[in-house]
Structure 1
Amino acid sequence: METNMSACCSASRNSTAQAQQSDSPDAQIEPRNDAPASNRENMVLLNGGTFLMGTDDQEGFPSDGEGPIREVTLKPFYIDPCAVTNAEFKQFIDQTGYKTEAEAFGWSFVFHLFVSEATARNVKTTVQQTPWWWVVEGADWQHPEGPDSDLAERMDHPVIHVSWNDAMAYCKWAGKRLPTEAEWEFAARGGLTKKRYPWGDELKPGGKHMCNIWQGKFPDKNNKSDGYAGTAPVRAFEPNGFGLYNVSGNVWEWCSDWFSPTYHAKGKRDNPSGPPKGEARSMRGGSYLCHRSYCNRYRVAARSKNTPDSSTGNIGFRCAADVSIT
């Protein structure tokens, strides 16, 4: 089974020569401090507690650091039921004038089947190890497949082509933050213990599709039997036991932690927040491109990573927030 995360999950800016030739954007862009007061009414309040994090599942990837199974304790926190939508991100952009890193670089990674013939004629770079990822100039959150695409009929879909730095800027504006990996997994499990997916151990209980992942032969034929080739609306499919939608499939979701395949084995188990430094940030949940034949990382314990400035057509995020003590 494939174990190279950079090869199966999402492309990184440092994987192409073009990335090295691009002018680096100002990753420290600060949104204006004019956001509305933080609103917790639409977030899910989780009381925290102790849960079993990780997996020793034979379908897992030990080299990713999915195991060992360990007891982790969390304090109460809020988390969004859904990934941030295009509509929500547009409000942020409209109120702050923020420029995403894909816009600053002038390009982002797009899955090859989504690129129009006209745009494809201008594509000069693909990722050598993963030729299905194309460097598309003019691809960004507003133009997901390139300059001749838009968000029509997709305002309720998760925003994509957002880097970790972009997600952090949105969180600051919204008065929220990114979840830690431990918080994300606790929330994604929905109260179930040691289950493979947010709904149990069977991928399609009773033959029913429960998430947006790849069906068919990757990377050239998607049967779309779950109803979607690319992203799905953020409330597509049934929520888990905590009321969270699409924590398996649809889009990868940034977490706050630096990624390490080993740090957690000896790290703290009380509100862990990952290693103090690193080169890539953690992502959770899998995406619409995941398929068991090469990347079944739509399991709740699965992990991936990417550099903080990278953006692709299958990475988004959801927000979390602290519970105020009064």
Structure 2
Amino acid sequence: MTNYASATGRFQQHNADAACSPACRSDIRNQPDRTPSCERGVHWMLRMLLLICCLLSACSPSSRFQIDVCTHACDNVGQTCSENTLTICRENAQGCREVTSETCEFGCDGAERCAVVACGNSVVDGDEVCDGDTLPCSDLDSVYVSGEALCKSDCSAYDVSSCTPLVCTDADGDGHDVFHATGCPSGSDYCDNDPNNYTQNGCTNCVDNDGDGYGTACDLGTDCNDANPSVFATTSDCTPPDTNILSGPAGVTDISSATFTFTCSETGCTYECRLDNGSWSSCSSPKSYVGLAGQQHLFEVRASDAALNVDATPASRAFTSVSVWQLIPGGSFSMGDGFSEGDADELPVHTVTVSTFQMMSKEVTNGAYEACVNAGACGAPGSGAASFGYGSTTGTNPWRPVLQVTWNNAVEYCSWVGGRLPTEAEWEYAARGGHTDRRFPNGNTMNCSLANYFGQPFYPYDTEPSAGTCVGTTVRVGSYAPNDYGLYDITGNVAEWVFDWYGANYYSSSATTNPQGPASGTNRIVRGGDWNANTFRLRNAERTWATPGSQGNIGIRCAR
């Protein structure tokens, strides 16, 4: 008898390939009651060994046959969506295909899957009309004109309960609305007083405000200026003029008044002006403003031509006026020469009380005074003023103090800007800057770093090393430090007119509260000294006088 091990070994050696072939496996699996062709003539025991061999070791994993047999529930792995049902075919762990299904709440989305719809997530999807948004009613359709439409809570439509519907204005009942209106289903009506006519052709109900036969929906044609019967589309003048500003302040200025000149591109123009977005009013060139607050300002002017065409883009000029009015708090002080070094008319020293008032922080400039002259409110200064920059726009000339003005000129200017000349008592009180024991506005000594004057070391309180003018002419106002009341150049540069008549002995009989000076006289008081005055003339207590018509180195500082 053949040994089991020997028989097995010989079979494995000579028949392994045949035993493990796919055809062999097929025979064994599909015809278990028959002897496979590949094993005919082999003992039954060897045949069993062959089967064990194939199952356990002799056959490669890729060649093993399946013992389990699947019953597949679907043909192909994947999913399909029909109506509200999603069907999914998938393969389980044993490799068998099985089917699951689920119901789609919002139906299918066209890509073989359930549609995802979430009302209120701000995304319009599925069958949603809107999703949480709000629209102006006028954006929905032509039926509504105002209000807001909110998306309904189910995202199916907009809630138009707050919308205002258009009203069809149909006076003649022909189903057509008035010209240029909307809301009637049949459209606009050019002639809403005739139910048989709603087209422009033949319509006699045109809008013609000036009665020239031209206008909106008129047979003769349109009207480019329906306020002037001589101007319409077929005339030559439907073009508005251009307005141009020729002169006036720009940028930062330290004057409280402004004068502008302007013109237009046509002849015969009329103008309207306004300041700081106020009301338009008729004006002419030059146009002046006085008493301006210390702030940014905007001047605008627009021209109209003879055909009443108005410039739709007015000319404008922005400028900033630095505040020129300084508050001087009321109080009492010792008026006169407290150092016993002045003239007899500075005595006796007496107590004077003045009320609170305002004073210009700087002397009136050439540019500011020229504006008053151009406006016709002030007389021209003396001819010598040109030598000190008057009438010039170069360099600092517009900012140098005006001089060679009479007392009457000074009154004119101060009145033009809404002020007046200060009294002599107000002037000295302001110059002292709240101090009663000072010789000068800024202390008890003087030199060229403090004021523009004629240095004279002859006086013990003048610390200049030699005699002579500091500059030799006037300088821009505000070039030196102010006193403690914020007043610049209160001494030096130019002298200043004050209101009072001069009286040599007035201090002996002066009123103690807000004195106004003598009731009459020949000369008016001048205070402060000028660029060519010596140190003695710059003292706070110094009194000088001149006839009202004098035109010397005298300028203006107003009060109010």
TM-score range, shorter chain: 0.5 to 0.7
Separation in 2, partners of 1:151, 1:164: 25
Equivalent position of 2:482 in the other structure:
239
| Paired residue secondary structure (1:84) | coil
Change (3 A) 1:178 1:98: closer
2:300 pairs with 1:36 = no
Equivalent position of 2:350 in the other structure:
70
Is this contact kept in 2: 1:56–1:69, CA < 8 A? yes
2:439 pairs with 1:180 = no
Displacement of 1:185: 0.6
Letter in 2 for 1:167: A
2:537 pairs with 1:297 = yes
Aligned match for 1:169, one of 388, 408, 412: 412
Separation in 1, partners of 2:499, 2:512: 16
Is this contact kept in 2: 1:143–1:150, CA < 8 A? no
Separation in 1, partners of 2:548, 2:530: 18
Change (3 A) 1:216 1:44: closer
Displacement of 1:57: 2.3
Higher strand share: 2
Equivalent position of 1:47 in the other structure:
329
Equivalent position of 1:283 in the other structure:
526
Is this contact kept in 1: 2:350–2:507, CA < 8 A? no
Displacement of 1:143: 4.6
Separation in 2, partners of 1:182, 1:288: 23
2:555 pairs with 1:316 = yes
Displacement of 1:151: 6.4
Moved more, 74-83 or 258-267: 258-267
2:506 pairs with 1:268 = no
2:327 pairs with 1:84 = no
| Paired residue secondary structure (1:158) | coil
Separation in 2, partners of 1:40, 1:193: 32
- Aligned length in residues: 237
Equivalent position of 1:306 in the other structure:
546
Equivalent position of 2:43 in the other structure:
none
Letter in 2 for 1:73: T
TM-score by length of 1: 0.67
Which structure is higher in RCO with an 8 Å CA cutoff and minimum separation 6? Answer: 1
| Paired residue secondary structure (1:141) | helix
Letter in 2 for 1:172: S
2:440 pairs with 1:214 = no
Change (3 A) 1:144 1:217: farther
Letter in 2 for 1:157: R
Is this contact kept in 1: 2:389–2:398, CA < 8 A? no
Change (3 A) 1:40 1:267: farther
Aligned match for 1:59, one of 328, 336, 341: 341
| Paired residue secondary structure (2:474) | coil
Letter in 2 for 1:276: A
Is this contact kept in 2: 1:144–1:161, CA < 8 A? no
Which digits, 9 at most, give the CA deviation of each residue in 1:204-238, with x for residues without a partner?
A: 4xxx62111113799xx9744x3x11112110111
| Paired residue secondary structure (2:422) | coil
Displacement of 1:164: 0.4
Change (3 A) 1:101 1:290: closer
2:490 pairs with 1:251 = no
State percent identity of aligned pairs: 35
Letter in 2 for 1:90: E
Letter in 2 for 1:319: C
Separation in 2, partners of 1:38, 1:239: 22
Displacement of 1:311: 0.2
TM-score by length of 2: 0.40
Letter in 1 for 2:544: S
Is this contact kept in 1: 2:326–2:486, CA < 8 A? yes
Separation in 2, partners of 1:92, 1:259: 28
Is this contact kept in 2: 1:74–1:271, CA < 8 A? yes
Runs of 5+ consecutive residues of structure 2 not aligned to the other structure? 1-286, 295-322, 459-465
| Paired residue secondary structure (2:454) | coil
Is this contact kept in 1: 2:496–2:526, CA < 8 A? yes
Equivalent position of 2:256 in the other structure:
none
Letter in 1 for 2:364: V
Change (3 A) 1:78 1:164: same
Separation in 1, partners of 2:341, 2:510: 24
Is this contact kept in 2: 1:259–1:305, CA < 8 A? yes
| Paired residue secondary structure (2:289) | coil
